[in-house]
């Protein structure tokens, strides 16, 4: 993934991806080689994180909290 300040997930820390500077083709090539070499394990780690943190219960709880705040403020 291109390095950006607007993405708050640490792909490298989770072990499911790599960050690279968008204008560095050599870094992209290295990152793609690393991802391809470890794709099954990275996929498992990414899926485990998503199942734990990005699931329908988590989404519903977050949405409920936002709606509660919005309607209480009105």
Query: Is 5 inside any structural domain?
Result: no
Q: Any idea which residue has 């519903």 for tokens? A: 60
Query: Is 4 inside any structural domain?
Result: no
pTM above 0.85, yes or no: no
Among 42, 41, 63, which Cα is nearest to 54's? 63
- Domain span including residue 56: 11-73
Query: Is 51 inside any structural domain?
Result: yes
Query: Is 1 inside any structural domain?
Result: no
Total domains in the chain come to: 1
- pLDDT tens digits, the chain, 74 residues: what are they? 998 888 888 999 999 999 998 899 999 999 999 999 999 999 999 999 999 988 999 999 999 999 999 998 76
Burial class, 57, CB count within 10 angstroms (exposed 0-12 / middle 13-18 / buried 19+): exposed
Query: Is 45 inside any structural domain?
Result: yes
């Amino acid at each position: 993934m291109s390095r950006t300040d607007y993405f708050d997930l640490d792909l490298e820390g989770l072990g499911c991806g790599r960050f690279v500077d968008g204008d560095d083709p050599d870094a992209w090539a290295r990152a793609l080689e690393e991802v391809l070499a470890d794709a099954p394990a990275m996929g498992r780690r990414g899926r485990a994180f998503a199942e734990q943190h990005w699931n329908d219960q988590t989404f519903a709880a977050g949405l409920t909290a936002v709606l509660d705040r919005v309607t209480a403020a009105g």
